[in-house]
Amino acid sequence: MDSDFKSKGSWVLAGGLGYCFSLVSPQLVLGPSGVLQGIRPGKCYVDMSTVDADTVTELAQVIVSRGGRFLEAPVSGNQQLSNDGMLVILAAGDRGLYEDCSSCFQAMGKTSFFLGEVGNAAKMMLIVNMVQGSFMATIAEGLTLAQVTGQSQQTFLDILNQGQLASIFLDQKCQNILQGNFKPDFYLKYIQKDLRLAIALGDAVNHPTPMAAAANEVTNCKTQCTSPSSLPFFSLFFPSTYFGFSLLSGLISQGGLLGH
């Protein structure tokens, strides 16, 4: 990073590009030294972060008002899937820009979906993350219940993997737990954000989300944990090496979500 870039901000980079793919917070885009300052007529901005529909709609309006083209494209997947080019991309906004970006999306992910007007991808991403977070909370609760009642957690996992819940995702996450692998792909503060935004999405249309609310409450351990935002979810389910006590009723997700 040269001194000119440092002095002028991230808009210098955006100003020199026809296409800008972003995974940063919208606040960094809209700020006085943000990418927005480099948006000119014809410039294309692809926002790949996970935010709520109102935020991404506001961002789209500002980009378009400056003559730019806008596409939201949050991604589903963990770090390993990202490295392997196996993400799932949810896009909405400028259909022409989506088609222009098809080769980039093919390099990043195994599939992409175009969902219509701006805001739809944000909504769908939050719903997907809500389901995944709530699902892993339930699986982890089952693992811990098996543990405290003297049942084999491996047998519990084997039974699940021979039934209708069988999936690579389930097997990988649970095997990591059983092997004591707590390396995080995803942190508590991010699943809390997505659960909170998903609950708010339901509230906006008077649709109850009791399962998401329960999972969200379980993650809300700020008064119990020294530094919960930095913990991988695994640590909330098993005797914690981070603290001197166990939190056996928390949320689990060693990975699976990106774009935060």
**What pLDDT, in 10s, does the model give residues 177-215?**
778 776 666 677 788 899 999 999 999 999 999 999 988
Same domain (yes/no): 15, 73: yes
Residue 151 pLDDT level (bands cut at 50, 70, 90): very high
Q: pTM score, two decimals?
A: 0.80
Q: For the segment 210-226, what is each residue's pLDDT rounded down to a tens digit?
A: 999 988 887 775 434 54
State how many domains the chain has: 2
Whether residue 114 is contained in a domain is answered as yes
Same domain (yes/no): 61, 77: yes
Residue 132 pLDDT level (bands cut at 50, 70, 90): confident
Q: What's the CATH code of the domain at 101? A: 3.40.50.720
Same domain (yes/no): 97, 200: no
CA distance 104 to 98: 10
Same domain (yes/no): 114, 152: no
Same domain (yes/no): 128, 232: yes
Residue 239 Cα distances to 90, 177, 243, 246, 247, angstroms: 37, 12, 8, 4, 7
Check pLDDT > 50 for residue 256. Answer: no
The pLDDT score that the predictor gives to residue 174 is: 76
The pLDDT score that the predictor gives to residue 4 is: 41
Find where tokens 């972003």 sit: 22
Same domain (yes/no): 106, 63: yes
Task: Give the residue numbers spanning the domain of 99.
Answer: 3-118
The pLDDT score that the predictor gives to residue 17 is: 61
Distance of CA 54 to the CA centre of its chain: 17
The pLDDT score that the predictor gives to residue 223 is: 33
Pairing, β 69-72 against β 87-93: antiparallel
Whether residue 223 is contained in a domain is answered as yes
Whether residue 255 is contained in a domain is answered as no
Whether residue 158 is contained in a domain is answered as yes
